C-alpha cells in the first residue's frame, strides 16, 4: 500500500477508508453514488490502559445511479418477456419431448 492514499468517511459514527483511486470517491463527490456495501466487524483498542472492543466498517463495493437505472431497465425487460411468453401445459408428451429432445 506504499504510495497509495485513502479518504476517510463516516457512517453511523464509525469511520471507514476508501482508496482515493476507487470510483466510490468520484461518485460520492459528483453526487452519482447510489449504494455502498460495508462489512461490519470489530477490533481491539486500548483506551486509558484498558483494551476495549470497538466496531469497524470495511468498504466492500458500491454502485452508481447509472448502473442502478440500467439494472432496473434490464429487470423490466425481463419481466415483460416473462409476462408475454406463451405457456404450455406440461403433460407426459411434452415432458417426454423435453427429456429426450
Work out the mean pLDDT of the chain and round it to a whole number.
93
Spatial contact of 43 and 53, defined as CB atoms under 8 Å apart: yes
Percent of the chain with pLDDT over 70: 98
Q: What is the mean pLDDT of residues 77-84?
A: 91
Dmax of the chain from CA atoms?
Answer: 78
CA–CA distance, 20 with 7 (Å, rounded to integer): 6
pLDDT in tens, 22-61: 999 999 999 999 999 999 999 999 999 999 999 999 999 9
Cβ neighbour number for residue 92 with a 10 Å cutoff: 7
Rg (C-alpha) for the chain, rounded Å, is: 24
CA–CA distance, 70 with 53 (Å, rounded to integer): 41
Retrieve residue 70's grid coordinates.
440500467
**Per DSSP, what are the bridge partners of residue 27?**
none
Residues 6+ apart with CB under 8 A from 14: 55, 56, 57
The answer to pTM > 0.75 is no
Amino acid at each position: 500500500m506504499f504510495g497509495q492514499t485513502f479518504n476517510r468517511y463516516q457512517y453511523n459514527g464509525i469511520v471507514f477508508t476508501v482508496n482515493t483511486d476507487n470510483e466510490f470517491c468520484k461518485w460520492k463527490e459528483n453526487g452519482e453514488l447510489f449504494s455502498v456495501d460495508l462489512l461490519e466487524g470489530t477490533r481491539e483498542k486500548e483506551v486509558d490502559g484498558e483494551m476495549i472492543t470497538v466496531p469497524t466498517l470495511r468498504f466492500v463495493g458500491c454502485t452508481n445511479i447509472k448502473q442502478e437505472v440500467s439494472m432496473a431497465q434490464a429487470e423490466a425487460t425481463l419481466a415483460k418477456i416473462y409476462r408475454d411468453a406463451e405457456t404450455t401445459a406440461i403433460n407426459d408428451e411434452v415432458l417426454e419431448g423435453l427429456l429426450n429432445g
